Structures are given as C-alpha cells and as structure tokens.
Structure 1
Amino acid sequence: MRVTLSDEARRYIGRFDELTGVTPRDCLVEEDRLVFVVPPGEMHEAIGPGGRTVDRVEAELGRGVQLVEYAETPEAFVANALAPAAVRAVTISEQNDRVAYVEVEPADRGVAIGTDGRTIETARRLAGRHHDVDDVQLT
C-alpha cells in the first residue's frame, strides 16, 4: 500500500532520520505531537539508551513523539499501534468493511483508548494508511 506524505511530514521524517539514524516509513503530524512509524527491528535504535535519543528528538522538534513499529500483517501492526497496552488478540473481519477487533487486558483498556481517545484514533488512522483497515474496535 502506498502512503502519501505531506511536505511537512517529509521534513520531520528527514530530521528524525538525521537525529536517530532511523528512517521512518510514515509520520502523522498532529497539533502537539508527531507519530512516527519505524521499520521493524529499529525501535530500540530510535528510542536510544534510556530513551535519550527520542528525548533529544522531542526537544529538537519541539513536540511530543510517539513511535509505532511497522509490521507486515494488519493484526501485528494494530497491536503495535496500541502499545503499551497488553493486546491479547487482533481479528480482522472483512464483512462489509475491514475492521480490526482487538481484545486487550481489562486493566489496559484505558491505555488502549488513551486520553480523549487519542491512542485508538491514531491506531485507526495508521491501520487505514498501511493496511486498508476501516476501523479498530476494542472488544
């Protein structure tokens, strides 16, 4: 699937790459934060020891940064997008729409939803952009 990036997102991706050595696959530009989708296996490098690298990126870019690790399957990708919530299972239903039904630990339901629904909304946007998923719902 092809993801279209704005010029602003491309600039942030370039700067993130300069600061971390990791080239993100995608960037969502939000009012107060940036969400980067990093290649599989490169999350550790993007975060850095003790979180110092991502902290430096936040300071340099003047915004909060959220990282999501890319995955080839929509199930794994949705689970990664909802981290750090403990996801038990993700099922993709293809009735009329393509919907990811996510089962999370009851204690982590709030984490999966996020403040004002931001985490699950980000998961919806990213799943749609990368895996043609129309909706993400918690079960």
Structure 2
Amino acid sequence: MTVTLSDTARQYIALFEDETGATAHDCVVLGDEDDDEKRVIFVVKPGEMGQAIGPGGKNVQSVEDQLGADVELVEDANTAATFVANALAPAEVHHVTISENNDTVAYAEVEQADTGVAIGTGGRNIETAKLLVERHFDVDDIQLT
C-alpha cells in the first residue's frame, strides 16, 4: 500500500530523522499550528524505536520542542496484525485476528486492565490506530475483544 505524505509531513520526517537518527516510514499530523492538541505521529522502522526515543526520552522530547506538538511513535511491522498491536501500545495486546468479509476488520484481544489505555481519552488512541492501519494495510476497522 502506498502512503501519500504532505509537504509538512515530509519536512517533519526530515527533522525527526536528523534529530533521532531513526528512520520514519510515515508521519501523520493531527490538528493545526494553533491547536493546543496538535499531535504528530511517526511510524518508525522496526528495531529503531529505542533510537527514536533516545536516553530518557531525550530525542523524542527534542522533536516535540521543535515541532511544538505532542509526538507519538508507532513501530512499523510487516503484517497487519503486528502493526495493529504496535499501534495500540502501550496496551498489552495478546492476539490480533484479521477478518476479511465485506470489510477488513482487525479483532484485537487486549488485556482487560488495558482496555482503557487502548481506547484512550475520548477514543483518541483507538482512532489513531484505525487511521494508521487503514493507511498501511487497508484495514477498515479495529475491534477490541
């Protein structure tokens, strides 16, 4: 699946990679410049999450300061199931099943205590995960079980 990046997203990826030394495969900007809730989500190459975060969160904090936004990181994956689990982190996901009927739906089995974490305040986390998995794997929905 081809991911289309805006000019702003390309600029943010360049800044992210310069600051962290990690590779970003995607960048999604939610909110605008004047929005107090502006978030930037980077999809990081597998195995480079530690490098992206940096010691004590130093690298990601530097990117946040420069962008004036909250930065969230999701580790990329080769399969839709693994990507869904990564997108729902830090919630503990035990298993993901992809069902392809009329729509493609990912059923994620989440630790009961982590259901709130997976959903997030106002559904923020689950909606972000849905957006990313649709961009990368053509999955239409995520359902928590």
Residue type of the alignment partner of 1:36: F
Equivalence for 1:69: 75
Are 1:30 and 2:63 counterparts? no
1:85 and 1:59 map into 2 onto residues whose CA distance is 26
Residue by residue over 1:88-130, the C-alpha shift from the partner in whole angstroms, topping out at 9 and shown as x without a partner, is 1100000111100111011000000011111111110110111
Percent sequence identity is: 64
CA contact under 8 A between 2:75 and 2:83: conserved in structure 1?
yes
Equivalence for 1:104: 110
Equivalence for 2:122: 116
Q: What is the number of residues matched between the two proteins? A: 139
Please tell me the root mean square deviation across aligned C-alpha atoms, in Å. 0.7
Are 1:84 and 2:116 counterparts? no
2:55 and 2:22 map into 1 onto residues whose CA distance is 14
1:26 and 1:117 map into 2 onto residues whose CA distance is 22
Unaligned runs of 5+ residues in structure 1 are: none
2:25 and 2:127 map into 1 onto residues whose CA distance is 19
Query: How far did 1:78 drift?
Result: 0.3
TM-score by length of 2: 0.94
Are 1:5 and 2:11 counterparts? no
Residue type of the alignment partner of 1:75: A
Residue type of the alignment partner of 1:19: E
1:138 to 129, 141, 144: 144
**Superposed structure 1 runs of 4+ greater than 6 Å apart:** none
Equivalence for 1:19: 19
1:114 and 1:35 map into 2 onto residues whose CA distance is 15
Query: How far did 1:23 drift?
Result: 2.4
CA contact under 8 A between 1:113 and 1:120: conserved in structure 2?
yes
1:43 and 1:23 map into 2 onto residues whose CA distance is 9
Query: How far did 1:61 drift?
Result: 1.1
2:130 and 2:27 map into 1 onto residues whose CA distance is 14
